[in-house]
Amino acid sequence: MSETRYTDQHEWVRLEGDSATIGITKFAAEQLGDVVYVELPAKGKVVKAGAEVAVVESVKAASEVYAPVGGEITLANDVLATAPSTVNDDPEGEGWFFKLKLADAAEFNTLMDAAAYAEFTKGL
């Protein structure tokens, strides 16, 4: 049973047990344009919530991606190395960036749900 939440930095987090899958939202991917490269964190790295953990590049911009929740990186999405376009095609599915083992469940609960995020992006 999984639940997805969102940050005001346009990341999404899907939680299953204590395994969190993280990526950037459809809104963010559209703003960014064609993704050409993604720099992902290494397995085993421990990150705090709010830390810069990845970089996503389009032709004309490079954006930092921040860890929405803290934990230990368990897996990075290797597909993005050869097919960065996956982020544009399916940003909230196949275009996930990395998975981590959630350190503090409370952090997840402070994030926006889908309705709140939709409301948030309307104002942008």
Partner 1 sequence: MSLNNQGRPSSIPSLASAGAAGIPSTPATISGDRGLDHEEKLIFELGHGAVGVDLPDVNVGDDRLGGMRRKGGVGLPGISEPETVRHYVRLSRMNYAIDAGLYPLGSCTMKHNPRLNEKMARLPGFGDLHPLAPTSATQGALGLISELMTWLTRLTGMPAVAMSPKAGAHGELCGLLAIRAALEARGEGHRKRILVPESAHGTNPATAAFAGFTVDEVPATPDGHVDADALEARLGPDVAAIMLTNPNTCGLFEPRVKEMADAVHAAGGYFYCDGANFNAIAGKVRPGDLGIDAMHINLHKTFSTPHGGGGPGAGPVVLSERLAPFAPLPLLVHDDKGFRLVETREDAPAGAQPFGRMCAFHGQMGMFTRALSYMLSHGRDGVRQASEDAVLSANYVLASLKDVMSAPFGDGPCMHEALFDDSFLEGTGVTTLDYAKAMIDEGYHPMTMYFPLVVHGAMLIEPTESESKEALDRFIHVLRALALEAKAGKTARFEGAPHFAPRRRLDETLAARKPVLRWKPDPLKQAAE
Partner 2 sequence: MRYHPLTAEDRRAMLAKIGAADIDALFRDVPKEALAPLSVFDLPDTQGEMEVDRALSKLAAQNIAAGSAPTFCGAGAYKHHVPAAVDHLIQRSEFLTSYTPYQPEIAQGTLQYLFEFQTQVALLTGMEVANASLYDGSTATAEAVLMAQRVTKRGKAILSGGLHPHYAETVETVASLFGEMTRTPVTPGSAEDIIALIDEDTACVVVQSPDVYGLIRDLRPIADAAHAKGALLIAVVTEIVSLGLLESPGAQGADIVAAEGQSIGNGLNFGGPYVGLFATREKFLRQMPGRLTGETVDAEGRRGFVLTLSTREQHIRREKATSNICTNSGLCTLAFTIHMTLLGEEGLSRLARLNHAKAVALAGRLAKLQGVELVTPAFFNEFTLRLSKPAAGVVDALATKGVLAGVPASRLGGAADLLIVAATETATDEDFVALEAGLKETLS
Sheet strands side by side (includes 3-6): 3-6, 11-16, 19-24, 98-102, 71-76, 46-47
Task: Show contacts with partner 1 in window 69-88 (CB under 8 A).
Answer: 84-85
Number of residues interacting with partner 2: please give it, by CB under 8 A: 9
Residue 10 φ/ψ region, left for φ over 0, alpha for ψ in the -120 to 50 degree band, beta for the rest: left
Question: How many residues appear in the chain?
Answer: 124
Give the SS3 label for residue 101.
strand
Which of 6, 66, 96, 98 touches partner 1 (CB under 8 A)?
66
Stretch 9-48: interaction string toward partner 1, x if CB under 8 A: xxx------------x---x--xxxx-xx-----------
Q: 3-state DSSP helix/strand/coil percent for the chain, to nearest 5?
A: 25, 40, 40
Task: Show contacts with partner 2 in window 19-78 (CB under 8 A).
Answer: 36-37, 39, 57-62
Would you say 61 or 114 has its CB closer to partner 2? Answer: 61
**Site for partner 1, rule CB under 8 A:** 9-11, 24, 28, 31-34, 36-37, 56-66, 84-85, 124
Site of interaction with partner 2 (CB under 8 A): 36-37, 39, 57-62
